[in-house]
Amino acid sequence: MSKYIGILTAGGDSPGLNAAIRGVGKAAGGFYGMQVIGFRDGFRGFMENRTMELDSNTLSGILTLGGTILGTSRDKPHRMPVGGKLLDMTDVMVENFHKHNLDVLVCLGGGGTQKNALRLAQKGLPIITLPKTIDNDVAMTDITFGFDTALTVATEAIDRLHSTAHSHHRIIVVEIMGNRVGWLALGAGIAGGADVILIPEIPYDVEVVAEAIRRRSHGGKRFSIVAVAEGAMSKEDAAAIHAAEKKLASAKSKAGAQKAEAELEQLTAQHTGNTLRLASQLEKLTHLESRLTILGHLQRGGTPSAADRLLATRLGTACADLIHKGHYGVMVAARGDGTEPVPLEQVAGKLKRVPLDHPWVIAARQVGTCLGD
């Protein structure tokens, strides 16, 4: 008997989403004879029952397209804005699942999507997820699709910034995405030859960074490239946030927890614009002109790289195979050249940070890159 599959994409857009949709759809429909529909705009569209057919015609020609033909949103099933209120809409989604006689819901997304998918799985829905994000921070998978494309874009940006930095004898500070992890900044910084790389996993001392730039200047190198992950922070800021998190975790009363949470939110909000402050600090400490470039959403757009198309197709077809076997409640993880189903409980709520002894960190140090510590 033919199986019926629903697919949605949630969270931020990412290169390779369409390739993954195509991989699932073509393998499930063309190879296994299943029926596939898509839900528009993530969990919001699933709740509102907005669908589109994912037949061979729809899936044709989307391999190289950036973004997602299904659309996406950051709405959470259990806290969704409806009529000016935040409501738990998971039961409505369960109803829509059964209205379409679905056998499984496939959710493509990053860390937040993995948590939301687990919530639906805990409501009894058969769920499979695929790991998508340019940040490469999803736990239990070697890599996420979208990362390679963003890495290439960020590296090319640093390449271009070298010429203007050299011509004007400037410090160029370039902010790179990555949320709370440093994979993107670290990889692009190494590949682009950045002189300083600052990532969340290694809190920095601004004096150490300034001294590294001064040494370059005294050595006749009149410019420096500083690659900064958006979540990078100074040792002082990191210590304050760690103390606030510790206070929140050990709060004995509701009032105490609310106070600690408010303190943590305030510290987090203060971190906004940190890269701009860093650029200003470095200009004062080194007496060199400093300029800031924020790459922002440029890193998420455009045609997916060959590596991301391959990865997304590989994960998508492996997903169809797991559906055929009735293997649900898992994320399809990239493992070497193959794939591995990992229980959602082992993925949701976890963050894949850069280990301090990672080969990329060691390589950066050995070529003389300053990591701020």
User: What CA–CA distance (Å, rounded) separates 276 from 189?
Assistant: 18
Chain position carrying tokens 């990865």:
311
Rg, the chain, Cα only: 22
CA 175, distance to chain mean position in Å, is 15
Other beta carbons less than 10 A from residue 309's beta carbon: 23
| Residue 135 among the catalytic residues | yes
DSSP bridge pairs for 80: 87
Region of 36 on the Ramachandran plot (φ > 0 left; ψ -120 to 50 alpha; else beta): beta
Query: How many C-beta neighbours within 10 Å does residue 96 have?
Result: 21
From residue 203, alpha-carbon distances to 120, 182, 239, 252 in Å are 36, 11, 9, 29
d(CA 273, CA 230): 9
In order of 147, 157, 218, 357, the CA distances from 164 in angstroms are 27, 11, 20, 33
CA dist., res. 331 & res. 344, Å (int): 6
41, 75, 135, 195: the catalytic one is: 135
Show the tokens assigned to 154.
């960020």
Token pair of 182 as six digits: 């440093």
What whole-number distance in Å separates Cα of residue 108 and Cα of residue 257? Answer: 33
Residues 312 and 1: their CA atoms lie apart, in Å, by 27
Q: Which residues have CB under 8 Å from 261's CB, separation 6+?
A: 248
Helix (H, G, I), strand (E, B) or coil at 5: strand
What is the spatial order of strands in the sheet that 290-294 belongs to?
Answer: 196-198, 224-229, 171-176, 290-294
| Token digits of residue 3 | 């199986």
User: Measured between alpha carbons, how far is 211 from 51 in angstroms, rounded to an integer?
Assistant: 57
353 DSSP 8-state letter: P
Active-site positions read 135
